[in-house]
Homo-oligomer: A and B are copies of this chain.
Amino acid sequence: MSTMDHDITEPLVRRIASVIKISEEEKSAIRELPIRRSEIKADQDVVREGESPTRMFFIAEGMTATYKIVSDSRRQIVGFHLPGDAPDLQSLHLRSLDVSIATITPSTIGFVPHTAILEVCDRFPRLTTAFWRHTLVDAAIFREWMANIGQRSAPTRIAHLLCELFVRFRAVGAATADTINFPITQAEIADSMGLSSVHVNRSLMGLRAKGYFVLQDGTLQVLDWEGLQVAGDFSPHYLHLREFGDLARSS
């Protein structure tokens, strides 16, 4: 089910370009990476905690979640990833994985050998910066999530998550003016926000009742972006996007 394929790098190129300005030559270098394409069904682990991969992967289509299993049976989702993201980029410089990463929708994944990444970074030092920066933005999101989980109420946490995904989808151009793909289940929201699925359901209904958004059929349509940001105590600063002026709260 795996073939060589060079036509799936566009999301990755766009993602890298969203955090740092890169030249056409550098974009080409990314496009010419040796990539092993793989179609993966929903709810399958792509990599598992404890493994020591010799390749990294990026998402061409679909979504994945990075998670940790805690004292058997509980899990914490520490991040969601969308097209263009390289969820295990850290494996480039850490011996073994401290997390597992699973698809949450059927996904198209591109695997790239570490050696190929290191080589292209060697030829284009600016790409080293680009990839490093990708991992730094990931870390910034982790920090914000910690504040979210540790300090905010359930409804605020959830609104914050919706805001983040809305902005991130828009940043990679995978959104219309007010609507994004939202295939994440309430149970997955629960595992990511440190809540129970029952409480997520109730909080979500409270937010819906306020008319901030419509969330159904795997689609999130934002009706009151301003209000949703306030409800989620959200500011996109931590995402370190090169441009997000049109998405910032107008306060």
Cβ contacts under 8 Å, A129 to chain B: 93
* Assembly CA distance A91 to B106 (angstroms): 36
Kindly name the residue among A70, A147, A150 whose own CB sees the greatest number of chain B CB atoms within 10 A: A150
* Assembly CA distance A240 to B98 (angstroms): 9
* Assembly CA distance A95 to B237 (angstroms): 11
Kindly name the residue among A70, A74, A96, A136 whose own CB sees the greatest number of chain B CB atoms within 10 A: A136
* Assembly CA distance A238 to B154 (angstroms): 28
Minimum CB–CB distance from A66 to chain B (whole Å) comes to 8
Cβ contacts under 8 Å, A152 to chain B: 70-71
Given the contacts A71-B233, A99-B143, A135 and B137 also touching, CB distance less than 8 Å: no
Cβ contacts under 8 Å, A146 to chain B: 68, 76, 78, 142, 145-146, 149
Which A residues from 135 to 189 make CB contacts under 8 A with B? 135-140, 142-147, 149-152
Given the contacts A74-B151, A132-B93, A135-B135, A68 and B143 also touching, CB distance less than 8 Å: yes
Given the contacts A135-B135, A142-B143, A94 and B150 also touching, CB distance less than 8 Å: no
Give which listed residue, B75, B78, B93, B144, contacts A136 with CB less than 8 A.
Answer: B93
* Assembly CA distance A30 to B21 (angstroms): 29
Q: Is A60 an interface residue (CB 8 A)?
A: no
Which A residues from 197 to 251 make CB contacts under 8 A with B? 233, 237-238, 240
Minimum CB–CB distance from A251 to chain B (whole Å) comes to 14
Residue-wise interface mask of A (16-52) relative to B, using a CB-CB cutoff of 8 A (1 in contact, 0 not): 0000000000000000000000000000000000100
Give which listed residue, B90, B122, B137, contacts A140 with CB less than 8 A.
Answer: B90
* Assembly CA distance A149 to B129 (angstroms): 31
Minimum CB–CB distance from A65 to chain B (whole Å) comes to 12
Q: Is A108 an interface residue (CB 8 A)?
A: no
Cβ contacts under 8 Å, A99 to chain B: 143
Cβ contacts under 8 Å, A128 to chain B: 128
Q: Is A114 an interface residue (CB 8 A)?
A: no
Lowest 9 CB-CB distances: which A-B pairs, in order? A150-B194, A142-B142, A76-B147, A139-B139, A98-B238, A70-B151, A68-B147, A74-B151, A76-B150
